[in-house]
Amino acid sequence: MISRIRSLIIPGVDKELLVRDAARMLPDPSRRRFLTGGASLGALTLLTGCNVSDSLSAENLLVQMSKFNDAVQAAIFNPNTLAPTFSEKDIKRPFPFNAFYSEDEAPRVDAADWKLEVTGLVQNKKSWTLAELHKLPEVSQITRHICVEGWSAIGSWQGTPLRDFLKLVGADTSAKWVYFRCAEDYASSLDMPTALHSQTQMTFKFDNQILPRAYGFPMKIRVPTKLGFKNPKYVTSMEVTNDYKGGYWEDQGYNDFSGS
């Protein structure tokens, strides 16, 4: 998996900021140990086992950090642990586009035809129109999106907490998975604790504007505690299930947990 990560050289990386950013991503007690131990690039190298001094970029380091978190969080997953949040000035504009195809091939979803199908272990299996979903209460987050392909960027997303929606549709929250299908040939599975995490969001806007086509119009799932591939765009259906159904990247060997 690590060999698949593209190395990007990001010029002008501020090492102090990088170390601080990395520290915020570390779960306790590693975080405390790291901070009391001097919080240096050298210490990060020891913790992550990757040499950050030259060839690996800062962005890559953050991906390594997220993998380190993976192992720790999988063992001691705490639904109250929040992903770090940032401020307006940190938002990356333009925000990077990513998919398994180029941007001009991104799905064009017709809002009038589009429906979100809600199926599986839920009391109310109705399909939702975009107009209905837009009436749900809106919250905002500024968080970091981390892609396994070696980049990360801070963005701002608005939508309704997925856990509120799951409650609204009478989902069996003791089920193991929420499985999402997308307008193209993409899918992803979220474990239920992550689906119920307070920052996991059914997202309708990026940067306070209706989600542009590139970023998943009309709806994506924003999961700041998971790697980018677990943030499905152009979502068309949501299924609450006990059967693990994998997903586009999951089926290619990326682990299920993929915390960030």
Ligand X SMILES: Nc1nc2c(c(=O)[nH]1)N[C@H]1C(S)=C(S)[C@@H](COP(=O)(O)O)O[C@H]1N2
Q: Does 229 bind Mo ion (CB under 5 A)?
A: yes
In the complex, minimum distance from the CB of residue 156 to ligand X, in angstroms, rounded to a whole number: 12
**Shorter beta-carbon distance to ligand X: residue 47 or 159:** 159
In the complex, minimum distance from the CB of residue 237 to Mo ion, in angstroms, rounded to a whole number: 21
139 binds, among Mo ion, ligand X, none (CB under 5 to 8 A by kind): none
In the complex, minimum distance from the CB of residue 231 to ligand X, in angstroms, rounded to a whole number: 5
68 binds, among Mo ion, ligand X, none (CB under 5 to 8 A by kind): none
**Shorter beta-carbon distance to Mo ion: residue 5 or 175:** 5
Q: Quick one: which of 128, 229, 254, 257 contacts ligand X (CB under 6 A)?
A: 229
Q: Enumerate residues 181-220 that contact ligand X by CB under 6 A.
A: 182, 184, 186, 214-215
User: Secondary structure of 75-108 in the HEC alphabet?
Assistant: HCCCCCCCCCECCHHHCCCCCCCCCCCCHHHCCC
> Are 220 and 190 within 8 A, CB to CB?
no
Q: Does 96 bind ligand X (CB under 6 A)?
A: yes
**Shorter beta-carbon distance to Mo ion: residue 26 or 63:** 63
Q: Does 233 bind ligand X (CB under 6 A)?
A: yes
Residue 222 and residue 145: Cα distance in Å, rounded? Answer: 9
Among all residues, whose Cβ is closest to ligand X?
228
Residue 233 and residue 180: Cα distance in Å, rounded? Answer: 9
Residue 260 and residue 255: Cα distance in Å, rounded? Answer: 12
- Give the binding-site size for ligand X (rule: CB under 6 A): 18
Residue 88 and residue 85: Cα distance in Å, rounded? Answer: 10
Residues with Cβ within 8 Å of 112's Cβ and at least 6 positions away in sequence, in order, are none
User: Secondary structure of 129-171 in the HEC alphabet?
Assistant: EHHHHHCCCCEEEEEEEEECCCEEEEEEEEEEEHHHHHHHCCE
**Shorter beta-carbon distance to ligand X: residue 80 or 102:** 102
Q: Position of tokens 């690590």?
A: 2
Q: Does 147 bind Mo ion (CB under 5 A)?
A: yes
In the complex, minimum distance from the CB of residue 20 to ligand X, in angstroms, rounded to a whole number: 23
247 binds, among Mo ion, ligand X, none (CB under 5 to 8 A by kind): none
Structure tokens at 28: 């306790």
Q: What share of the chain is helix, strand, coil (3-state, %, to 5)?
A: 30, 25, 45
Q: Does 221 bind ligand X (CB under 6 A)?
A: no
Give contact residues for Mo ion (rule: CB under 5 A): 147, 228-229
Give contact residues for ligand X (rule: CB under 6 A): 95-100, 147, 182, 184, 186, 214-215, 228-229, 231-234
